[in-house]
């Protein structure tokens, strides 16, 4: 059995690499989600006018890794308190978003985020959006597993 989770947490190269290293993750694909333009390209998304976020679609085996474990990884590997920015990357395409695929994922994401907010781990409010998954457009081939293709283990995340 497989499930799909989709996350946006800044530049998709580092986010993808983080999930690729996770036991139970079957595959990842970087792309664009949450916008209005049909079949966007990287160049279009970079203009900040399409509404898309750079996202990673994660196919996982829920018997080996839970959705909650993926949420934990998501929040541990970016700053969910900065709106439209991660590190040096600025723009709404770099916003923090959980794109849920099922009502169970929506509930889990809302609970996890609320619990994290109450924990006081962050000094500022969490601004991560939790929205229904919409069209996911795979990014160009050269973006897929970009860091691995270049022998890199991470980027600025």
4 DSSP β-pair partners: 59
Q: What is the mean pLDDT of residues 3-29?
A: 92
Using the structure block, give the residue that is written with the tokens 């390209």: 41
What pLDDT score does 157 carry?
Answer: 44
Residue 149 has pLDDT above 70, yes or no: no
Sign of CA dihedral 60, 81, 131, 85: negative
Contact 13, 147 (CB under 8 A): yes
Task: Share the mean pLDDT of the chain.
Answer: 90
Class of domain 3-149: alpha beta
| Tens digit of each residue's pLDDT (9 = 90 or more) over 88-131 | 888 899 999 999 999 999 999 999 999 999 999 999 999 999 99
Q: What is the mean pLDDT of residues 38-42?
A: 94
Structure token pair of residue 128: 């991560």
Q: What is the mean pLDDT of residues 32-51?
A: 93
Question: Which of 25, 28, 33 is closest to 8 using CA atoms?
Answer: 33
Instruction: Report the predicted TM-score, pTM, of the whole model to 2 decimal places.
Output: 0.91
Instruction: Please list, in sequence order, all residues whose beta carbon lies within 8 angstroms of the beta carbon of residue 155, skipping any fewer than 6 positions away.
Output: 11, 13, 14, 17, 147
Point out the catalytic residue in the list 11, 45, 65, 109: 11
Residue 142 has pLDDT above 90, yes or no: no
Q: What is the mean pLDDT of residues 34-56?
A: 93
Spell out the domain ranges in the chain.
3-149
Contact 67, 105 (CB under 8 A): yes
Using the structure block, give the residue that is written with the tokens 């079957």: 26
Residue 51 has pLDDT above 70, yes or no: yes
Contact 16, 70 (CB under 8 A): no
Q: Is 46 a catalytic residue?
A: no
């Amino acid at each position: 059995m497989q499930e799909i989770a989709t996350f946006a947490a800044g530049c998709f190269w580092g986010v993808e690499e983080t999930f690729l290293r996770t036991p139970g993750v079957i595959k990842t694909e970087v792309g664009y989600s949450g916008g209005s333009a049909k079949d966007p390209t990287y160049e279009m998304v970079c203009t900040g006018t399409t509404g898309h976020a750079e996202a990673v679609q994660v196919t996982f085996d829920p018997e080996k890794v839970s959705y909650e474990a993926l949420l934990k990884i998501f929040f541990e590997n970016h700053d969910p308190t900065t709106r439209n920015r991660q590190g040096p990357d600025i723009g709404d395409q770099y916003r923090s978003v959980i794109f849920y695929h099922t009502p169970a994922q929506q509930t889990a994401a809302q609970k996890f985020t609320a619990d994290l907010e109450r924990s006081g781990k962050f000094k500022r409010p969490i601004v991560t959006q939790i929205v229904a998954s919409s069209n996911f457009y795979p990014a160009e081939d050269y973006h897929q597993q970009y860091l691995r293709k270049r022998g890199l283990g991470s980027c600025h995340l």
